[in-house]
Structure 1
Amino acid sequence: MANFVCIFFCFQHFFILFHDTGAMPESSAETIRGSKSSVHIGAIFDTDNTLDGVIAEISMNLAISDFYALHPNYQTRLHLRVTTAKDLVDTAGAAVDLLENFQVDAIIGPQISAAAPFLVELGEKSQVPIISFFEASPTLSLIESPYFIRVAENDSVQVKAISAVLQKFNWHEVVLVYEDTDYGTGFISYLVDALQETNIRVAHMSAIPKSAEDFQISKALLKLMTMQTRVFIVYMNTALASRLFALADQNGMMSKGYAWIITAGLSNSLNVLDSDVVDSMDGVLGVRSHVPKSKELASFDRRWKRELHLMKPNSPLTGINFSGLWAYDTICALARAAEKILPPTNPSFVKPNTSESRIDFASLGAPRIGSRLRDELRNTRFKGLSGEFNLINRQLESSVFEIINVIGNGRVVGYWTPEKGISQNLGPNYKNGLKQIIWPGDSTTTPTGWAIPSLKIGVPVKLGFPEFVEQRKNGNKTTYTGFSIDVFSAVLETLDKDLGFKVLHDFIGFEDETGLMDGSYDDLLLQIKNKKFDAVVGDTTIVANRTDYVDFTLPYSESGWTMLVLAKGDNRKNMWIFLKPWTWDLWLTVGTSCIFITIVIWVMEHNTENTEFRGSYRRQLAMILMFPFYAFVIPQRELVVRDCSRFVLVVWLWLAFILMQSYTASLSSILTVDKLEPTFDNLERLRTKDHFIGFQRGCFVGNLLEKQFNFSRSQLKSYGTIQEYHEALSNGSKNGGVTAIFDEIPYIRVFLKAYGSQYTTAGPIYRTVGFGFVCTYTTIENETKMDEIEKRYFGEKVTSATLAPTISTGSSSLRAFNFGGLFIIAGIATLLAIAISERYIWQRPVAFIRQYLTSDHPANRIELAAQPTAETDAGDHSPEVHQDSGNSGRISGRIKEDIAVE
């Protein structure tokens, strides 16, 4: 339907032109064509309103004069006919006019991309080559349009260069901003396919109409500002692009963090843009065709500027662009091709027989040299001003692209070739990468490609424990310091290194109008749920019920909470500390053991030749008391003579050695470790009304004491600073203070660092996860740095191991029960020795039992008589039978004799 509309307007324009000038006879057309060696070329530009049209016209006129000045012997001459066209209808009418009235052999144009499809179709019907060095719609198929020739870079190659630039800077998402025309949408389809091949995602596509007002462009830009992606690829004509970048600069989108890439069509025309527009594009990257420097190019540039001054003295142009160079080379290529085909002597156009009343494109005729001129152009190769002129499938070959940084008219920072990719230079001195780039906002830091809004970090505001979080105000400036802040900063350093860009953030104190904390920690965390804060950084404990509405990182501090109470004092200041290693029951047991063993040895040694155990009662009593010490003081002296006594002495020395070593170890521990004993460690007694309990203001511990530990609310008191802790514990419950304070271990560490000689911890540690940040999980890469931060605030690493001596409340004294097995073994060994040595001790009861059995049970007398005792056998070998109780005196006397003999 669009083609029929174009044709209708074409004929309407043609008939208006026909009625104004009158029908031109065939003889007149022949006169215009001139000599038989002339080849007429038509051009359709807008030389009145566009700079590209002026540039192309000057370049083509210079090309004709330059070419035939260098080739005066050529038998053909090109005659150029430039027609001005401002819109689609003008272009269609101009094309028909050139074919009908001037019978051109080729048409150069159009400058208006929307008119290209119609002009290409017209050229195919009339068999006239349509040659374009302007950016026509990429949707035009060169295969389906055999008479269409593009003397410009191949868009399919250009998109590969753009994709390589994106990969170079690790940009994985882009926003496409393009002209909402067939010209724009055709190129975008090429670009999207190329980006998909390299796994680059198109986050958004913004199509801006060619006729859009400034407010419409600004509205589209404001929408782009709300997106996280900060890489924009712009594909549009120079007029629309100039307005776009001027408005982008006004809206702050040409600042640090943004990245803009322009395609070749715009990059090739930077030198024809207004200086204010170019200034607004500072920092933009562009991809453009590469033109090798040469003497011919420099000479042409001077002559071109001179011609511009003569033809357009008031023109704002300052130099030629790529379209002008391609226009020059196009004329040179046509002149070479025309010389090779030498047009015939008969008229070039063949007019078919048609009815005068019928209007058809066929009536325009077909030039005899159209197809031959097209074919010869395809085979024409030479070195032009823009480089090697070589048409591949009627498309100018593009093998090298420049990557430019828009500073002024653009400086080359690198090149792209299909073989080597991106490099800083061409030729043998190949160097990978790109030169230094100045990005928007005069930044030398490569944009990340996407923006994270500055994170709003909530920080608790409190007077106590500044070691963790402290707010400092200096006029309008507020800073935050402390252990938690430093840990968070260290985490961000690691995160920035992993992400490759800096995460922006702002600390915001959670405070009310008076400058105090606006609620509890739970209230602070709820602000994340309410979208007031993005994260919370501070001494925030990870508690199960809080995870229902926020997410925590892994903990970064010691976990748990416990009880803080007054200490009794330093044990090392006690004059009776030497008794501390053993409890009273162990001292008593050891003393009793010493006396028992001494008595056993005295019994065994008393009736021997050993003079140490003889003498007065006082001397023997002294020996009983002092003998255990003699064994250690005079080890070389023979204190005992009997074997059983020696055995008991060895047992005693073994027992004493173990006890002595245990005593020494326990005493050393007491003397070397400053261990404070708590004055109160009974949790059950705390629940009585006589005691008050303290906790940190705003901490979760208060709720736990009331709900889980069943403390009355009237018993609980909250405090905010370590000074308040000190006063409350010093006063005690009877004087308006508290008996104990429950708090988390990190806070207790801070308190004990200041008042460690007066207070200690007691009772068990109630475990929690520890402090955590309410944000995405990160870790500090260097653990040494974490240790440095802890030492800076606490002096040493906060761990359970370092806190354990303070928290322990059990006695370190050794009890008798600890050596129960040792005493049992020694006792059994001692009893066994005395039983073997002093048999009369157990033989006398046996004899009495035997006498009793003999007197009361006559039936047993014969049995007893038949079994003489060992004592009888040993003392007298003649058997004696005792049959009545009258012999008991003799038995008793015999036993005494045996004992005496032994």
Structure 2
Amino acid sequence: MKLTMASAKMVSMFILPAMLHAFSSFGWSMAQNSHHRPHHMHVGVILDMESPVGEMAQKCMTMAISDLNATPSQNNHPLKLILHPRNSMGQPLKALSSGENVTKRTLIGPQTSEEAELLGELGDRVPIISFSASCPSLSREKNPNFIRMTTNDNSQVGAIAALVQKFGWRELVIIHEDSFYGNGIIPDLLLALHEGNARVVHRTVIPPQARDIYVEAQLYRLMALSANIFIVHMSPSLASRFFIKVDELGMMSTGYGWIVTDGIANELSVMDQSTLDSMQGVIGIRPYIPPSKRIHNFSLKWRNSFFTKQHPQIPEVNVYCLWAYDSVWALATAAHHLGATTSIEKKDSANKFAHLAAIPLRPTGSDLVRTILRAKFTGLSGEIQLKNGKLQQPLAFEIVNVFGRVKRIGFWTQFNEITTKLDRSTVANQSPSVRDMGSIGWPGSSLAIPKVQRIMPKAGKRLRIGVPIKVGFKELVGVELDPVTNATTVTGFCIDVFKAAIDMLPYGVTLDFIPFTNSNILMGGSYYDNLIYQVYRQKYDAAVGDITITANRSSYVDFTMTFTETGVAMIVPIETSRSTNMWIFFKPLTVDLWLVIGAFFVFTGFVVWTIEHNDNDEFKGPLARQIGIVMWFSFATLFFAQREKLISNLSKVVVIVWLFVVLILTSSYTANLSSILTVHQLQSMPKGESIVLPFNSPADQKFLIDLPFKKHSSYPLRKVEDYANALRDESRKGGISAIIDEIPYVKLFLSKYSDQYTTVETSLYGTEGFGFEGKLYLISQNWFQNHSLYTNQDSAAKVARLDSYSFRGLFLITGITSAAAAIASRKYMKKESTTSQQHDVADKPVEEKFSPVSDIPSRRTGSKHIRRYSY
């Protein structure tokens, strides 16, 4: 007969206290008559022997008793633990009501959280040690004598949230068991996921005893939601049936992601092969037990003792077995310690072990619980230390992946999050990137991390994306039909931008690109207007392409942000300037600059002549010769070809400064003349010239009503080559002089014909550009051969002539230098002349004094003769 949870609690309120009182009284009476015999401590064990864990846990506890008896410190000790296992079959009242007359001071078990909650009604009468009841709701506040020798379910929520965040999942579904165990973790799990920016869009609850048809119905509901990322928290028995159904319905295929909690991951080693086959690709979290020599020896002993004809397959030791083993050791250690303390207090020296017989008489269950909680030792599962009645959270959780076999792919620690290696000195080496984890096998044997899909009805349509069919400008949108497979391939800049935007979404979207043909047009207007109207009529879910945003179109559909330069531009031919003007060499400099340069040539030559002509014979001679020298010397400096040797330092300074000015002038002249001869100048656009507007361009007649050009809108322009052909002939030959189109088309055209054509007056009239966003620069570079749509191409500018204002500083320097040198030269000449006259007057008496006597002038009539002798 099966009892519900409520009825079981009511029965326990009346039956359990009476039974346990009888058990305790009988057991304690036996102990009083055994003062001189070794004391046996009877321990009740409640396990579900029908489950693999229950069977293995009983085996581990038996091995623990064997190891205790084999320990040297225990051989001479009269206290022996005797286990009394009972099969609960998932019903703890069934085991307690077996009615066997055996003393039980302590219960190890129960195996499930539901059983532990029910047995908590025992209060402080019997200590309860559970190695597998992990529900967070179980606490010492409710059950003072409840000891949890296992981790709390809440300790793993951080690891689960970290995995969800590293995989980039933002929306997911939680599937959990509708039970005391299944509901306990949910509040903390939801909080941890929320803190990691993940949203739980749906929760599915499955009762523990649900039939397969119910499980299947719940899975169909999840399929209708197109959910593909799941976290599963349920008992292993329910999980086995659940995942078999998941695999049967095709939900363990490529694109799905599954994470299971430790309740399932801890028992992967004991699940049958059919269940493991249905769980290929599942990620699990479980406590990490560090390897040790004790575990190695225990595993060898386990293999030798477990192998029987009934068990030819030796199961792997899981963490529940280790915790069951350590539970027995914790109980025995506490009992021995408590017995020794009682002996000292009684000071009974008559019998060395008499205090052991008195253990049941003095200490209560609470005493034993307090002693166990204070215990600290090294068990098979690591360091055992209890706090608040439960085992402390492990330093690390192991992340495992079911892919062929159960393999470890990483660790999670509360200090360093996800890592691939553990460092004992620092607990973990930080390595938070998912790429650094071990190779993960996802459902469907995929190696790619599943992406979250949009939560929408699975039976709904895939996104139908309308795309325009273009004859030319396929770099923007190109539609190609494969004649063999009849498959449509859509490429181009706009398509890549759209796909890049889709890839940035935190969920997957399935797209179908559908070309928009002329047969789809159901209303008047342009081709693109009709495409927009089909989106408005919901024939397409969206439209992607070189679609210009206009006010009229915005009244029907919503556009994204623009991703190209907006506006329209004019394309005109350019010609290389090859002027036939014979006086073109005058053009680099303005007239005033030519006059100023000529004046300074003459001025500089005159200043040099002024300084040099008194002392330098090369600057002397007839007047005509001196004028020629002035003009020659000045202009010869233009080519640095002057031959006259300068004597005065002042003239040298003047010439050096003037040569610097000449160097700057000649360099500037050469550069400007080269620009004039090679620059591309725009072809003139006189009024009355014809222009063309491409077919379906939004820059139509209504935009250009005030332009002083003749409109020529009948010229067919569909490809880049059509633009070039139309512009190749002038208007008088039946061609056109300019094309006005949107800037993206203009830039694409110029990326191929930039040497022949250019733009003028960009953005004459504004448009809003194309819509969609993404990694625009890299995509633009890929499609337009480094002629990005986001760089402006400057129109050719007319070369400016050089004027005197630009060189006023140079002329000022050489003018001041020359003038100062000329003034200094004149003052020096005057001073030298005065000094020379004074020198002649002073020297005259001296000349007469030293004249010889014979040099006396003779006098003749009518004439005067003077004879002088030089000396």
Give the TM interval when normalised to the shorter protein. 0.5 to 0.7
Displacement of 1:786 after TM fit?
Answer: 4.2
Structure 1 residue aligned with 2:406: 410
Q: Is 1:77 equivalent to 2:80 in the alignment?
A: yes
The 1:85–1:732 alpha-carbon spacing in structure 2 relative to 1, beyond 3 Å, is: same
Given candidates 662, 668, 682, the residue that maps to 2:688 is 682
Q: Summarize deviations over 1:658-688 as a string: whole Å, max 9, x none.
A: xxx99x999996985464455x8438xx8xx
Q: Distance in 2 between matches of 1:540 and 1:61?
A: 77
Structure 1 residue aligned with 2:613: none
Gaps of 5+ in 1: 18-22, 351-366, 583-634, 637-660, 687-692, 806-811, 815-902
The 1:767–1:452 alpha-carbon spacing in structure 2 relative to 1, beyond 3 Å, is: farther
Q: Is 1:459 equivalent to 2:459 in the alignment?
A: no
Secondary structure of 1:40 counterpart: strand
Structure 2 residue aligned with 1:556: 564
Given candidates 327, 330, 338, the residue that maps to 1:330 is 327
Displacement of 1:66 after TM fit?
Answer: 2.6
Structure 2 residue aligned with 1:124: 123
Where in structure 2 are the equivalents of 1:5-404 lying within 5 Å? 5-7=7-9, 37-47=39-49, 49-70=50-71, 71-88=74-91, 91-97=92-98, 101-121=101-121, 123-124=122-123, 127-166=125-164, 174-195=172-193, 201-221=199-219, 223-224=221-222, 231-251=229-249, 253-255=251-253, 258-310=256-308, 313-314=310-311, 318-341=315-338, 369-404=364-399
Matched-pair contact (CA < 8 Å) for 2:110–2:133: no
Q: Summarize deviations over 1:516-536 as a string: whole Å, max 9, x none.
A: 999711232345545565654
Displacement of 1:152 after TM fit?
Answer: 0.7
Q: Distance in 1 between matches of 2:724 and 2:197?
A: 63
Matched-pair contact (CA < 8 Å) for 1:666–1:813: no
Displacement of 1:271 after TM fit?
Answer: 0.4
Secondary structure of 2:795 counterpart: helix
- Normalised by the size of structure 1, how large is the TM-score? 0.62
Secondary structure of 1:545 counterpart: helix
Structure 2 residue aligned with 1:864: none
Structure 2 residue aligned with 1:544: 551
AA in 2 matched with 1:318: P
Matched-pair contact (CA < 8 Å) for 2:137–2:184: yes
Deviates more, 1:744-753 or 1:246-255: 744-753
AA in 1 matched with 2:287: S
The 1:254–1:802 alpha-carbon spacing in structure 2 relative to 1, beyond 3 Å, is: farther
Q: Summarize deviations over 1:420-472 as a string: whole Å, max 9, x none.
A: 55542131375222642414145555556676999765432122333533323
AA in 2 matched with 1:238: P
Q: Distance in 1 between matches of 2:753 and 2:383?
A: 87
- The count of aligned residue pairs is 680
Structure 2 residue aligned with 1:790: 784
Displacement of 1:165 after TM fit?
Answer: 4.3
Matched-pair contact (CA < 8 Å) for 2:534–2:540: yes
Matched-pair contact (CA < 8 Å) for 2:32–2:357: no
Displacement of 1:544 after TM fit?
Answer: 2.8
Q: Is 1:479 equivalent to 2:479 in the alignment?
A: no
The 1:516–1:422 alpha-carbon spacing in structure 2 relative to 1, beyond 3 Å, is: same
Secondary structure of 1:696 counterpart: coil
Structure 2 residue aligned with 1:521: 528
Displacement of 1:40 after TM fit?
Answer: 1.7
Displacement of 1:750 after TM fit?
Answer: 6.5
Q: Distance in 2 between matches of 1:24 and 1:466?
A: 90
The 1:250–1:93 alpha-carbon spacing in structure 2 relative to 1, beyond 3 Å, is: closer
Q: Distance in 2 between matches of 1:101 and 1:450?
A: 60
Q: Distance in 1 between matches of 2:517 and 2:290?
A: 68
Q: Summarize deviations over 1:129-155 as a string: whole Å, max 9, x none.
A: 122112353212222211211111133
Displacement of 1:550 after TM fit?
Answer: 2.2
Q: Summarize deviations over 1:208-232 as a string: whole Å, max 9, x none.
A: 2223344543454455567698653
Displacement of 1:185 after TM fit?
Answer: 0.9
Structure 2 residue aligned with 1:362: none
Displacement of 1:394 after TM fit?
Answer: 2.1
Structure 2 residue aligned with 1:645: none
Q: Distance in 2 between matches of 1:194 and 1:797?
A: 43
AA in 2 matched with 1:205: R
Q: Distance in 1 between matches of 2:147 and 2:578?
A: 106
Matched-pair contact (CA < 8 Å) for 1:64–1:78: yes
Matched-pair contact (CA < 8 Å) for 1:33–1:102: no
Secondary structure of 2:335 counterpart: helix
Secondary structure of 2:176 counterpart: strand
The 1:550–1:33 alpha-carbon spacing in structure 2 relative to 1, beyond 3 Å, is: farther
Matched-pair contact (CA < 8 Å) for 1:706–1:712: no
Q: Matched residues, percent identical?
A: 30
The 1:163–1:769 alpha-carbon spacing in structure 2 relative to 1, beyond 3 Å, is: same
Q: Is 1:438 equivalent to 2:434 in the alignment?
A: no
AA in 1 matched with 2:546: D
Displacement of 1:34 after TM fit?
Answer: 10
Q: Summarize deviations over 1:842-886 as a string: whole Å, max 9, x none.
A: xxxxxxxxxxxxxxxxxxxxxxxxxxxxxxxxxxxxxxxxxxxxx
Gaps of 5+ in 2: 340-353, 457-461, 588-633, 636-667, 802-871
AA in 1 matched with 2:776: I
Displacement of 1:97 after TM fit?
Answer: 3.5
Matched-pair contact (CA < 8 Å) for 2:681–2:797: no
Displacement of 1:272 after TM fit?
Answer: 0.6
Q: Distance in 1 between matches of 2:678 and 2:411?
A: 78
Displacement of 1:562 after TM fit?
Answer: 4.9
Q: Summarize deviations over 1:306-357 as a string: whole Å, max 9, x none.
A: 44333x715766222222222222222223333445598999999xxxxxxx
Displacement of 1:741 after TM fit?
Answer: 6.7
The 1:724–1:399 alpha-carbon spacing in structure 2 relative to 1, beyond 3 Å, is: closer
Q: Distance in 2 between matches of 1:222 and 1:333?
A: 47
Structure 2 residue aligned with 1:822: none
Where in structure 2 are the equivalents of 1:870-889 lying within 5 Å? none
Q: Summarize deviations over 1:776-830 as a string: whole Å, max 9, x none.
A: x345356xx7467434679x9974633889xxxxxx999xxxxxxxxxxxxxxxx
The 1:243–1:707 alpha-carbon spacing in structure 2 relative to 1, beyond 3 Å, is: farther
AA in 1 matched with 2:795: T
Deviates more, 1:751-760 or 1:276-285: 751-760
AA in 2 matched with 1:208: I
Q: Distance in 1 between matches of 2:391 and 2:753?
A: 86
Matched-pair contact (CA < 8 Å) for 2:399–2:408: yes
Q: Distance in 2 between matches of 1:376 and 1:525?
A: 79
Matched-pair contact (CA < 8 Å) for 1:267–1:286: yes
AA in 2 matched with 1:541: T
Secondary structure of 1:97 counterpart: coil
Matched-pair contact (CA < 8 Å) for 2:758–2:795: no
